[in-house]
Amino acid sequence: MENTVVCMSPYRSLRSCSTSDCFTKTMPPRKKRRPAAGDDLLAKKSRHDGMYKKYDSTRIRAEDEAFSSKRCLEWFYEYAGTDDIVGPEGMEKFCEDIGVEPENVVMLVLAWKLDAQNMGYFTLQEWLKGMTSLQCDATEKLRNTLDYLRSLLNEPANFKLIYRYAFDFAREKDQRSLDMNTAKCMLGLLLGKMWPLFPVFHQFLEQSKYKVINKDQWCNVLEFSRTINLDLSNYDEDGAWPVLLDEFVEWYKEKQTA
């Protein structure tokens, strides 16, 4: 092998070597240069700078992830403008930014979380209180929270609270009842995909004499959808159901036998 002098046997002559080979063999091995004090400091500084940059980027990410009331306030005014309330125009832009249609049920869940009092409006106080509870201070954070908000509809206790909230949220504040057109829309939003009998109930409401739905009727519709069989076999006509539902059962049975 190059740079190596090998004696295969004492009876054989030594292979001649090149000048470089001989030089390598006759000179003592070079010692590694011991780093000077300045080099050591530079190495330490380089390691320190690297660690600091890593720590600093982690700290910046943590600060971005942490909820900020100031950032939440600035986010609110992106949609409110100079007012202390997000109105219909701001709400439209807000829905567009988070990628949700205004009529999507998740907007109702969000309104419930904010305890919003009027449909189509978010006040500054509602925004700050609700978004703080959700720990959202930016569009991206709320987008990442939408699946959580949708999941609340799968929990019966939460669904009942959202359903009851929807009545007061959607009604005119000077009225105790919900007008029928709004009621049908809200019922469709909440029960349309959950209650197989909803299309038939919706048809009943359209041909009925009722112009409004009161809160007792509203709450009983949910109870009816949860407890009464699809064939209505366990419906008790002498039970404490509102007349509205008695009339629906009667109408539906006549429709089936016709």
3-state secondary structure 170-203: HCCCCCCCEEHHHHHHHHHHHHCCCCCCHHHHHH
List all residues 6 or more positions away from 21 whose beta carbon is below 8 Å from its beta carbon. Answer: 2, 3, 4, 5
pLDDT of residue 55: 52
| Torsions phi, psi for 121 (to 5 deg) | -140, 140
pLDDT bucket at 21, cuts 50 / 70 / 90: very low
Pick from 19-33, 35-49, 164-178, 200-214: least confident: 19-33
pLDDT of residue 38: 56
pLDDT of residue 245: 97
86 strand-pairing partners: 122
**Is residue 147 within 8 Å of residue 158, measured between CB atoms?**
no
Nearest residue to 205 (alpha-carbon basis) of 163, 242, 247, 174: 247
H or E element that contains 85: strand 85-86
Distance CA 110, CA 108 (A): 5
Q: What is the pTM (predicted TM-score) of this model?
A: 0.74
Q: What mean pLDDT comes out for the span 177-195?
A: 96
The tokens describing 163, both together, are 């359903």
* Max intra-chain CA distance, the chain: 125
Distance CA 223, CA 207 (A): 22
